[in-house]
Chain A
Amino acid sequence: MTLKKLEPSPNFQNHAREIPERFKTRASTLFIDRFMTHFIKAGGIGIIAAVFGIFVFIFSQTIPLFKGAEVHEKALYQFEPGNYSVLGVDEWGELPFAAQENGLVRFFDTRENKTALVYDPSSESGKTVSAFRYNFNQQEFVYGTEDGHFFVTAVRYSPDYSTGARRVTVELETGKPLPLGDNRDPVRQIAFAHSGEVQLVAALQEGVQGLRLTALTLTQETSMMGAGELTADQVYDLTGLIRGRPVKILVNMQAYGLVVLNDEGRLFYLTLKGGEFKVRQEWQPFQSSPSPAAASMDYLLGDVSLVLTHADGTNVVHSLFVPPGGSERRFAETKRFQALPAGADLFHASLRNKAFLVASGSFVSLRYATTETTRWESRLDFDPAAAVIGRKYDSLLFLDSASRLHVFSLHDHHPESSWRAFFGKIQYEGYPDKRYEWQSSGSTDDFEAKLSLVPLIVGTLKGTLYAIIFAFPIALLAAIYTSQFAHPRFKLFVKPVMEIMASLPSVVLGFLSALWLAPLLETRVPSLILIVILIPSVSFAFGALWNSLPVQYRVLIKPGYEWIVLTPVLLMTLALGWHLGPVFERMFFVVTDPDAGIKIADFRRWWPEVTGTRFEQRNSLVVGFMMGFAVIPIIFTIAEDSLSNVPKTLVSGSLALGASRWQTALRVVVPTAFPGIFSAVMIGLGRAIGETMIVVMATGNTPIMDLNIFTGMRTLSANIAVELPEAPYLGTLYRTLFFGATVLFMMTFVMNTIAEVIRQRLREKYRTV
């Protein structure tokens, strides 16, 4: 090594005499040193910041979940004046239409700012239209005529890309008018739905004795050429089934049910079964109100929920579900929203999700049914005469009384998410009660996403709990023995063995638990119970027995070598317990087969019969056991360290005062090292919470909420591993999974930090002892 002079301080240099050349530090050395100082400082801080940036990034991805809807007025178009009551729009928002009371429809081209097409159903069909309804889902008009006929007009939008840019064109296809039975009374209200080959039309007709309710089933021949001719099947006169004057009728999209609202606010739910209509349910939603009449009634997407409003502004949702003890689905109130200023004048349900738009005067509100939240509300500076939500849930369209079309852009990417959706109890459609549920995707378009993180958190804690119950006693006892009683030479081999155990890949543990342990334990639960009882009692009993022997035998086992003698004893106990298990099962876990009447010794059947809970092959027991492999070494290592670090003076003092080694360990060492043991458990918990592969492989991954040891669970980490690869980028599910990762991170980070702080403090304390 070359000898170099220490760099003299600069202010000293000024006054001092000339330094000889050979003592001067080379400029390049100084430069490199300065450069490296800055480089390392910047780099070090940068790296640490980057690593923590990970969590900032993950967190930032979840922020949009908690934002409300943003709505801005985007454009204004002037329709030809008219008395419009229905507004509709195509998927791309280019060719909206408005329909007049008399059925006349005007399509408006927003690109060219002019009327694109006028459709007059009366002249097309040759009959005078007296009522109509637009089915947004199927994009069909159904018209009722003055002479008791009806016909369906399909609206067919088609995008055309031939010119490079998209052009939307529309075609209308008028169906053949069919009579609604034999009478020729004018139609006042009409509703229509079809599901496959079944079709149902319901109409209110103005007869001599007042309004009559008629229903008509139809069949459509389907052939190679596509949909064929509609033929009337059966006409039903349902007037006798309802009471009062009907004001609104709805047909569900499955085309078997009918909801009728009368002027007293009484609802009748009629269903078609076996060629006959029956009143399944009659109820009055606003019963408690002095004037129970309802102001509006409409279906939500999926047609299993009714959105009802009352003149005093009350806004509720009634959904179909099988009530406890019942056998049929019936309506009952499931949601209650913030009150509107008055009953709803306008209503439109989104075709993408469970959102709906209600307007009462100039007050409009966009609400989300699942979470009972108001996404956006505002008092417009005009009175809307018709309103619609864009088909992609990306715009809101209003038509005011002066026939101006106001187009609002809607930015609400995650309407289904809220604190309540993640952590609150929600009564989902079709469920009889409020519950926590995770079910992120379904097979149909009208599926209601269930995004409660609670079952996942419970699952995480359940797995962790069973892992700790199994791992903690073993790890702690092993740590106490190794640090206090075992001969120090064993430490040299026990610690590396534990390190190897800690390094076992979790995928290996997962695979073993799923394909080896789970099938093995499935039939051997009684053996396991026996082993759990036998092992501790035998070790204790053996210790007691040995110590009651005369001293000349006792000295044969030197202190610190007990575990070597214990090993064969426990191995034999293990084998004994394993083989006695079936005997044990035949003694205690016997059920009588109700069909055959024979007695069967099978724990798998005994458990459900006695406890009423399920028994699964891949269960928490298996997970807990295998996670033990991951958790035991962590708890052991940290606990052993803190037990060993208890100052030797304390131990010597205790022994010198005549305490036995067990008394010293129990009364002096363990209490002193308690914070260390505590932090060991915390870090072990942290590891168990985040464990992914074992849980993914060794459980059925069903998000259930119970603490039954013989069922599986779904943890936050397993949920991410299973669902993230399939989640659409930046969708609600994607962000929700990021939110799950944030929760997971918080849980482990907080736990580890507490543990680490405790450990550091403990270290400080020992230093002073």
Chain B
Amino acid sequence: MSSMTLKEPRSFFTKDTKSKGEPYVWFTGMGLVLGIFMIVSLLTLIFVKGFEVFWPDRVMLAELREGSPGAAGASRFLAGSIVMRQEKPVRDLTAPHDADTTELQLFVGNKDVYGFAYRFVDSSDILGRTYPQELMRIERLEYGDAMGKAAGLRVKGQAYLPASDPAFRASLERLVHDAEKRWKEIRRIEKSEIGRINRTMEKIRLKKKSLQASGEADVSERAAALDAQSSELQEKYEGLAREAARLRSMQKDSALDYETYTGEKKSLPAGEIVGFYYPNELYLPQRIAFLIGKIISFLTAEPREANTEGGVFPAIFGTFVMTVMMSVAVTPFGVLAAIYLREYAKQGFMVRAVRIAVNNLAGVPSIVFGVFGVGFFVYFVGASIDQLFFKEALPTPTFGTGGVLWASLTLALLTVPVVIVATEEALAAVPRGMREGSLACGASKWETIARIVLPASAPGILTGLILAMARGASEVAPLMLVGVVKLAPSLPIDGEAPFFHFERKFMHLGFHIYDLGFQSPDSEAAKPMVFATTLLLITLVVVLNLGAIFIREKLRKKYATGAF
């Protein structure tokens, strides 16, 4: 505390006017700086890395020194966009070393040609850097992106169209567009139509199996009817499969010829091209437009190539469905328990003990809940349901294996303490005067709770629910045990009766990150996708949390001023 303003004899605070221990205050300030620095730099890292994935960076054509270890093959040229720049540490103290020890990591693409997509090149090895305008980056269905100079277009039944032709780009764009439409058609046939036939045939097979198992006398006639149905479907299936095969062969009719900057000539069927652009020619607005387009396709597309390419739509949808189901399960139970604890239970030692215990439950490791989910829901409840209702499908489990229902119930248990604690706090914050006013007006206890207390505490309950949702959306460990998968063949909700398929396995953003980052065979190639997914998940969680904080602050102000 400053004692400057006091008019005292100088001798009173004599030796110095400094208060004791000021350096220590600065020292404690370090803690805050470090804490804030950690979180800010982490979020910045994720945002930068996440957006970098979508950003159409310029591609450099480097001329390398003869014999550079970074070169691909015999060529002295290498085209690539700079991913990372780092200092190489000097290890060998006895040998002389260069002044420039930076090395660049380049994304060079063309994995089918080189066998790698990323390459480290010493900065001192690069003799010249150019940014050719005509460099084309092609997004493909397989092997990641290709980079090179377009040579020409071979279209079935048309003359060869060289890249120098002004109509080249427009025709290539049209071809890619047509190919995409055909892919959609193929997907529709193979996934929904053939899928539906397969499921119907499976149902018929199970019906037949249970018919035979029933031991009734006159089964042969009905079995024959089922057989007939089945063979009819089989015929339909073959027709569809032929159609799909025809479309697939059409995808290869036209092709794009291009040449990589290391000199290899390649030809790519139009059906393999997802998109193309000229990264060195784009202006800033075009780059931003490209970025937005990429983000939209990331959010809406299905994953490709073992999840390392394409989008994350099924994971978003799976996370959403699971979180919603969890909220539906957790809200009534959490609120009911909180109302009991706060309004009905006799406040005493027992209730205090229960309250402490409930508080602590929020700190129990999530994996413990996962263990319970596996043992109780999947193996006990699920297996019993299978025994009762899905006997004909056994030994293939229906509910007796992980699924979105069990996952959301497990997470509901995990988050129920969060909701109970938040609701209790919200109920306690409702001023006593409001309750007494209501009771004095003749309302019964339940009416007071339902009409006065609950509406007043709704924002608090909502805060708790949002926090629970944020926790549910970001939790992975228990989900790994109860039904999350790397790649789910179908969504948990779709257009097929009965529309809600709660027994299905599902994809989840958090698990997507784990799987890509940890279990992917080529972790370098998976990295951009993991960063993009991380950005999405972090955004989701941070927005949910900020929402909760915002509501809480509003609530605090309301009660601070609007007391009775």
CB contacts (< 8 Å) of A752 on chain B: these are: 359-360, 363-364
Are A543 and B514 touching (Cβ within 8 A)? no
Are B37 and A44 touching (Cβ within 8 A)? no
User: Among B21, B32, B446, B538, which residue has its beta carbon within 8 angstroms of that of A32?
Assistant: B446
CB contacts (< 8 Å) of A478 on chain B: these are: 28, 31-32, 34-35
CB contacts (< 8 Å) of B417 on chain A: these are: 51
Are B18 and A503 touching (Cβ within 8 A)? no
A526-563 interface with B by 8 A CB criterion:
535-536, 539-544, 546-547, 551, 559, 562-563
A 582-597 to B, binary, CB cutoff 8 A, 1 in contact else 0:
1001100010000000
CB contacts (< 8 Å) of B473 on chain A: these are: 505
Is B530 interfacial (CB-CB < 8 Å)?
Answer: yes
A 658-698 to B, binary, CB cutoff 8 A, 1 in contact else 0:
01111100100000000000000001001101111100110
A666 to B22, CA, bound (A): 12
User: Among A5, A40, A57, A511, which residue has its beta carbon within 8 angstroms of that of B513?
Assistant: A511
A511 to B366, CA, bound (A): 18
Are A745 and B360 touching (Cβ within 8 A)? no
Is A628 interfacial (CB-CB < 8 Å)?
Answer: yes
A478 to B30, CA, bound (A): 7
Are A494 and B25 touching (Cβ within 8 A)? no
Is A232 interfacial (CB-CB < 8 Å)?
Answer: no
CB contacts (< 8 Å) of A342 on chain B: these are: none
A401-418 interface with B by 8 A CB criterion:
none
Is B549 interfacial (CB-CB < 8 Å)?
Answer: yes
A544 to B20, CA, bound (A): 11
A486-531 interface with B by 8 A CB criterion:
486, 494, 496-501, 503-508, 510-512, 514-516, 523
Are A511 and B514 touching (Cβ within 8 A)? yes
A737 to B375, CA, bound (A): 11
CB contacts (< 8 Å) of B440 on chain A: these are: 6
User: Among A25, A52, A484, A738, which residue has its beta carbon within 8 angstroms of that of B371?
Assistant: A738
CB contacts (< 8 Å) of A142 on chain B: these are: none
Is B559 interfacial (CB-CB < 8 Å)?
Answer: no
Are A40 and B339 touching (Cβ within 8 A)? yes
User: Among A5, A32, A40, which residue has its beta carbon within 8 angstroms of that of B344?
Assistant: A40
Are A546 and B20 touching (Cβ within 8 A)? no
Are B22 and A629 touching (Cβ within 8 A)? no
Are B29 and A485 touching (Cβ within 8 A)? yes
CB contacts (< 8 Å) of B511 on chain A: these are: 507
CB contacts (< 8 Å) of A32 on chain B: these are: 444, 446
Is A47 interfacial (CB-CB < 8 Å)?
Answer: yes
Is B271 interfacial (CB-CB < 8 Å)?
Answer: no
**Given A692-B477, A717-B477, also A636-B444 (CB < 8 A):** no
A542 to B343, CA, bound (A): 55
CB contacts (< 8 Å) of A570 on chain B: these are: 30, 33-34, 37
B359-384 interface with A by 8 A CB criterion:
359-361, 363-372, 374-376, 379
Are A601 and B1 touching (Cβ within 8 A)? no
Is A476 interfacial (CB-CB < 8 Å)?
Answer: yes
Is A379 interfacial (CB-CB < 8 Å)?
Answer: no
Are B444 and A45 touching (Cβ within 8 A)? no
User: Among A41, A498, A523, A748, which residue has its beta carbon within 8 angstroms of that of B364?
Assistant: A748
Q: Which residue of B lies closest to A752 (CB)?
A: B360
A544 to B22, CA, bound (A): 7
A334 to B354, CA, bound (A): 50
* Stretch from A107-115, A118-126, A154-162, A720-728 forming part of the interface with B: A720-728
CB contacts (< 8 Å) of A697 on chain B: these are: 514, 517-518
Is B358 interfacial (CB-CB < 8 Å)?
Answer: yes
CB contacts (< 8 Å) of A636 on chain B: these are: 35
Are B38 and A632 touching (Cβ within 8 A)? yes
B 441-461 to A, binary, CB cutoff 8 A, 1 in contact else 0:
111111101000000000000
User: Among A476, A497, A507, which residue has its beta carbon within 8 angstroms of that of B476?
Assistant: A507
CB contacts (< 8 Å) of B374 on chain A: these are: 724
Are A692 and B26 touching (Cβ within 8 A)? no
Q: Which residue of A lies closest to B93 (CB)?
A: A599
B310-352 interface with A by 8 A CB criterion:
333-334, 336-337, 339-341, 343-345, 352
Is B24 interfacial (CB-CB < 8 Å)?
Answer: yes
**Given A481-B32, A536-B27, also A29-B365 (CB < 8 A):** no
Is A757 interfacial (CB-CB < 8 Å)?
Answer: yes
A505 to B536, CA, bound (A): 12
**Given A500-B546, A600-B92, A666-B21, also A535-B364 (CB < 8 A):** no
Are A481 and B31 touching (Cβ within 8 A)? yes
A559 to B523, CA, bound (A): 49
B 469-506 to A, binary, CB cutoff 8 A, 1 in contact else 0:
01101111100110000000000000000000000000
Are A514 and B446 touching (Cβ within 8 A)? no
Are A543 and B379 touching (Cβ within 8 A)? no
Is A613 interfacial (CB-CB < 8 Å)?
Answer: no
- Tell which of B4, B336, B467, B544 has the most Cβ of chain A within 10 Å: B336
A181-229 interface with B by 8 A CB criterion:
none
Q: Give, as a whole number of angstroms, the nearest-CB distance from A79 to chain B.
A: 39
A241 to B385, CA, bound (A): 67
- Tell which of B92, B337, B449 has the most Cβ of chain A within 10 Å: B337
User: Among B24, B359, B369, B467, which residue has its beta carbon within 8 angstroms of that of A756?
Assistant: B359
User: Among A1, A54, A473, A753, which residue has its beta carbon within 8 angstroms of that of B31?
Assistant: A473
B 203-235 to A, binary, CB cutoff 8 A, 1 in contact else 0:
000000000000000000000000000000000
CB contacts (< 8 Å) of A473 on chain B: these are: 31
CB contacts (< 8 Å) of A590 on chain B: these are: 93
Are B379 and A563 touching (Cβ within 8 A)? no
Are B25 and A58 touching (Cβ within 8 A)? no
Is A63 interfacial (CB-CB < 8 Å)?
Answer: no
Are A601 and B42 touching (Cβ within 8 A)? no
Are B35 and A598 touching (Cβ within 8 A)? no
Is B289 interfacial (CB-CB < 8 Å)?
Answer: no
CB contacts (< 8 Å) of B36 on chain A: these are: 494, 497, 567
A398 to B395, CA, bound (A): 37
Are B442 and A504 touching (Cβ within 8 A)? no
Q: Give, as a whole number of angstroms, the nearest-CB distance from B100 to chain A.
A: 15
Is A702 interfacial (CB-CB < 8 Å)?
Answer: no
Are B92 and A738 touching (Cβ within 8 A)? no
Q: Give, as a whole number of angstroms, the nearest-CB distance from B88 to chain A.
A: 9
The 9 closest A-B pairs by CB, nearest first: A44-B340, A690-B365, A477-B31, A543-B26, A4-B442, A662-B21, A505-B474, A660-B19, A478-B31
Identify 24 residue pairs between A and B in the complex whose beta-carbon atoms are under 8 Å apart, listed by A's number: A40-B339, A44-B341, A58-B372, A481-B31, A500-B546, A504-B42, A504-B474, A505-B541, A507-B511, A508-B46, A508-B474, A508-B534, A523-B89, A535-B34, A540-B24, A546-B22, A551-B4, A551-B17, A585-B89, A601-B91, A628-B38, A693-B477, A738-B375, A756-B359
Interface of A toward B, CB cutoff 8 Å: 1, 3-7, 25, 29-30, 32-33, 36-37, 40-41, 43-45, 47-48, 51-52, 54-55, 57-58, 61, 473-482, 484-486, 494, 496-501, 503-508, 510-512, 514-516, 523, 535-536, 539-544, 546-547, 551, 559, 562-563, 566-567, 570-571, 582, 585-586, 590, 598-602, 628-629, 632, 636, 655, 659-663, 666, 683, 686-687, 689-693, 696-697, 717, 720-721, 724-725, 729, 737-738, 741, 744-745, 748-749, 752-753, 756-757, 760
A48-B340, A48-B341, A507-B474 given; name 5 further pairs at CB < 8 Å: A477-B31, A484-B28, A485-B28, A511-B534, A752-B360
